[in-house]
Structure 1
């Protein structure tokens, strides 16, 4: 018995006295239980027992083609990238045990930021521990109470959470709708702080934003612009800088957010900017100040990968070939896709419903193919998607094999 507490005087808790804080999840719990009761393997608990390459792994004891990893440029097994991580691990140990502003900035962090500045041709770069934290930190710090954030309704969760953390007024508009965005901007009070947040590539359907038109409108209304290029860095644009580069509007973007967990092939996030006051963010951005920094081995692999991405035009071209081939082949076989033409390395295959989507996912896994099963509320318009993310290391022959797997599974489940 704890001192000073008379246990007999304490009220006895009875069932029903207090609400179960997990009750809000009951519909999802039932949906998952019903899905598993039908005999389908849990699509969200798959374990890769061994990863053989950027495009192959051992899943459930069998060799499986990976088509759902976001490993767009296939840098995870690049010999130079792996070696730099090993050397940093030997030289600096396994972790920093501190935040960037105290004891957590090592030589590798600065080298990684230098690589980012060179890659994007920008004056400032700030590395975060994840891409999620980059959005969370930058948006919540620059847009606070009394400011307005105008954002696409299909924005990533990290963008929405950044808005909420900063307590700014959130003004969403219909996905990729230029007129709707301008109407929202016109309604914002004169003199208020305004931030427009866009994404280069939207991760669910793989479609791109009309950045050129949207950024022009944002600037006309006196708004700053942040573009998340997480799913376009490395392969879109002449130098792989993303959709803003491809559409010729890099100089009009105030902040570019990105991640290391896609094309760079490791983990972490970043923001690059030319704003002259940007460095103050290191002292006022809470998700940066109060988080342990990335391990030395991680920033070393990131820096090496980023520098190699600067000279990867051939890999970018091959990735686009893969994307066009997969998109065309799936469309010809009767599948409904998220975009009319390939716009990125993401090819989304729309399923009739969650049950058949899960069955199709399992059928593909049995064939030896791993893709992502994406479901509401993460998906737009309550869609269930099988989301394919291609890699520059996929061979043309692997794409042929993938198309055969989709055709057999699609016919077996009744999707086509």
Structure 2
């Protein structure tokens, strides 16, 4: 058994106590027990003892290359970003202790929303405490009972949860299938409220949606469109505005959702929009109204990072080179990847099963490389993935080192 990992307790049956509400998790408890019994490190409990840079940390006492952090543009250690956070701590304290509609709107929150409006060229911007809450709040507020939400079946959990919270009718379609999406739209009753929810980049495989055609079809059927650009903001598009910008459809999207926990390098979520009635959302969106606002230091770092991303063309170009090199190198080594060609900063390596995936994950960690191990039900088609998230701060030399680590680990585990 790996040092520091305790075995999970086995489920205990108790007579007369009624149904154990944890019994639904028994298969997962058993699966985790089996993995740890085989002597593997728990891949979902890794501790970073010290973070050295956007691309390196001390994990298990070892200098480790980070290839699973979503820190796409490497902004977490930017000197201007850090200085802005320190200044806000000194001048505004550690937290707001209130909702945005009460005492929780500080000058920094307004400046952060100003930066978002400028970044996207939109009329309205609304900051949430997390990206999850941005989807939860916007979707549940605009699509309620009797409305229909047409969404890609591989949509993020926060999108599904937003639909459930609003009690809207969920109409899923096959992943990135334009024809299937149109068929679903045609079946919706005449006059019903319709919202099409899409993602720019899908986080598991790193593949890009055919947004131009999908948005055109959605609009032709009278639907509003929401696009989640969490994994494309900062990187894709001439100005880093995401797949909507690259596809030339920004003016056709009613809502663009994003997060600060990827390219922006901190935490929080947002929605930008040109809808003339959008500001009423501040009074009717429950996850916004009933949540404490982000600390001053967080919105200060976010605003500074967003403004710097406007001028991040060189970093975007380098990140594309990193993505192309890693994708091509892994393909040449014989690994099965989630996309035929690099489409984003995410490169997904498909594993034969969870057991071999966990063994490969641990072999890479022993090499000094951290990646994400993703498993069902979070993954499409019940796949087990090693998800690699590249950073603009990864050097050319580091990408070469990463490929060598994958080759040695893959051969040791028997995957290549």
TM-score range, shorter chain: over 0.9
Output aligned runs, 1:124-273, within 5 Å. Answer: 124-273=124-273
C-alpha deviation, 1:88, in angstroms = 0.1
In structure 1, distance between residues paired with 2:96 and 2:18: 42
In structure 1, distance between residues paired with 2:400 and 2:244: 32
In structure 2, distance between residues paired with 1:44 and 1:16: 34
Q: SS of 2:40's equivalent? A: coil
Q: Which residue matches 2:35?
A: 35
Q: SS of 1:387's equivalent? A: strand
In structure 1, distance between residues paired with 2:270 and 2:158: 13
Deviation string 1:344-383 (CA, Å, 9 cap, x unpaired) is 0000000000000000000000000000000000000000
In structure 1, distance between residues paired with 2:312 and 2:82: 17
Q: Which residue matches 1:307?
A: 307
Q: Which residue matches 2:104?
A: 104
Q: Give aligned pairs, total.
A: 403
Question: CA RMSD of the aligned region, Å?
Answer: 0.5
Q: Which residue matches 1:278?
A: 278
Deviation string 1:121-140 (CA, Å, 9 cap, x unpaired) is 00000000000000000000
C-alpha deviation, 1:70, in angstroms = 0.1
In structure 2, distance between residues paired with 1:103 and 1:194: 35
Output aligned runs, 1:56-71, within 5 Å. Answer: 56-71=56-71
Asked if residue 346 in structure 1 is aligned to residue 350 in structure 2, the reply is: no
Gaps of 5+ in 1: 1-13
Output aligned runs, 1:110-125, within 5 Å. Answer: 110-125=110-125
Q: SS of 1:198's equivalent? A: strand
In structure 1, distance between residues paired with 2:62 and 2:28: 30
Deviation string 1:91-132 (CA, Å, 9 cap, x unpaired) is 000000000000100000000000000000000000000000
C-alpha deviation, 1:16, in angstroms = 3.2
Q: Which residue matches 2:358?
A: 358
In structure 2, distance between residues paired with 1:170 and 1:367: 44
Q: TM-score of the superposition, structure 1-length normalised? A: 0.97
Deviation string 1:63-108 (CA, Å, 9 cap, x unpaired) is 0000000000000000000000000000000000000000100000
C-alpha deviation, 1:141, in angstroms = 0.0
Deviation string 1:26-50 (CA, Å, 9 cap, x unpaired) is 0000000000000000000000000
Q: SS of 1:144's equivalent? A: coil
Asked if residue 390 in structure 1 is aligned to residue 385 in structure 2, the reply is: no
Q: TM-score of the superposition, structure 2-length normalised? A: 0.97
Asked if residue 411 in structure 1 is aligned to residue 411 in structure 2, the reply is: yes
In structure 1, distance between residues paired with 2:200 and 2:114: 23
Q: Which residue matches 1:74?
A: 74
Deviation string 1:321-341 (CA, Å, 9 cap, x unpaired) is 000000000000000000000
Structure 1 stretches of 4+ moved >6 Å: none
Deviation string 1:218-269 (CA, Å, 9 cap, x unpaired) is 0000000000000000010000000000010111000000000000000000
Asked if residue 49 in structure 1 is aligned to residue 49 in structure 2, the reply is: yes
C-alpha deviation, 1:17, in angstroms = 3.5
